[in-house]
Amino acid sequence: MKYLKPIYIQAFFILIVYTLITKVLFFQAVLWRNEILAYGLTSLVSALFGVLFLYLFGHKDFFPFAKIIEKKGLKREKKFLHYFSHFSRYTTTFLIALVGGPLFAALSARFLIHRKINRYIVVFSACFISTILWLGYAKGAFLFLNNKILN
């Protein structure tokens, strides 16, 4: 029981709920006629789960080695602060969210972005926009296939 911490059990159940809710909601939203409800609700749910995953990954027991990584990263950032802009970390997290969804967005933000408030903003906005893009693609593909089959 040393390795099975309560935060892992909570994360497991949240992952199951996330998988069930988002898959059902996504496929249902493809069929909805009300575009505002379809895009808004699915994007909001995806963004909220992304923030929830980021909160779980930020727990001290979830990744005990994360503090060491953050301290080393902050030292390097202070050293090179005047040379580089840190927009590449935000862009990387944003692109990972577009491809991988809220779970991978939260993981990448946890390890790439060191300021906590920026993590939540990036994950929320990236998941929101990612869901809009994927739902738009799915709705377009569904309408295309539907028109090809019926005509």
Residues 30, 135 contacting (CB under 8 angstroms):
yes
Distance, CA of 25 to CA of 46 (rounded, Å): 10
Tens-place pLDDT, residues 96-127: 888 888 888 888 888 778 777 888 888 899 98
Could you read off the pLDDT of 23-66 as tens digits, one per residue?
Answer: 899 888 888 888 888 888 889 998 998 888 888 877 766 666 55
pTM: 0.73
Please report which confidence band the pLDDT of residue 81 belongs to, taking 50, 70 and 90 as the band edges: very low
Mind giving me the DSSP string for 73-113? HHHHHHHHTTT--THHHHHHHHHHHHHH-HHHHHHHHHHH-
Amino acid identity of 47? A
Measured between alpha carbons, how far is 54 from 81 in angstroms, rounded to an integer? 25
